[in-house]
Amino acid sequence: MTSWVFWALLSAGFAALTAVFAKVGVEAISSDLATFLRTAVVLCVLGAILLGTGQWQPLGSIPRRTYLFLGLSGLATGASWLCYFRALKLGDAARVAPVDKLSVVLVAMFGVAFLGERLSAPNWLGVGLIAAGAVLVAYRG
């Protein structure tokens, strides 16, 4: 349970469930309201986890740079969720989710461009295959 791979695979599984559950949940309401309700659930669950595990810390002890980048991350997450739920409202979950996962390709590119990360030739091949796979799954043929 201390391996990043374990947690990444769980994340993928829960993300898949998210798409399926969200597609059904967004049928009778606006995609923005659906995003709000999901976010409220996430907030409550995370608050309970922080309190239950003793991980809460005084807000004054958090560096300003951390606030800045977590704030930007939160804005990006919110925008992503709003767009994702709108896409689910309009399209098939089996097509929306793979296109959404083009974020993997963008993360690789941004990691190299902005974080100084290095990818090997096989890594770039994988990035290309992910991009091609997302396009093929989303293709309506």
More confident residue, 141 or 21: 21
Instruction: Look up residue 37 and give its two tokens.
Output: 């309700």
User: Do residues 85 and 22 make contact, with C-beta atoms less than 8 angstroms apart?
Assistant: yes
Q: Which of 138, 55, 73, 140 is nearest to 102 (CA)?
A: 138
Work out the pLDDT band at 89, boundaries 50, 70, 90.
very high
What's the pLDDT tens digit per position in 109-123?
Answer: 999 999 999 999 999
What's the pLDDT tens digit per position in 19-64?
Answer: 999 999 999 999 999 999 999 999 999 999 999 999 999 999 999 9
Cα(49)–Cα(56) distance, rounded to whole angstroms? 9
In the Cβ-directed half-sphere of 139, how many Cα atoms lie within 13 Å?
8
Average pLDDT over residues 102-107: 95
Number of H helices, E strands in the chain: 6, 0
DSSP 2: -
* 3-class state of residue 107 by DSSP: helix
Average pLDDT, the chain: 94
pTM given for the model:
0.83
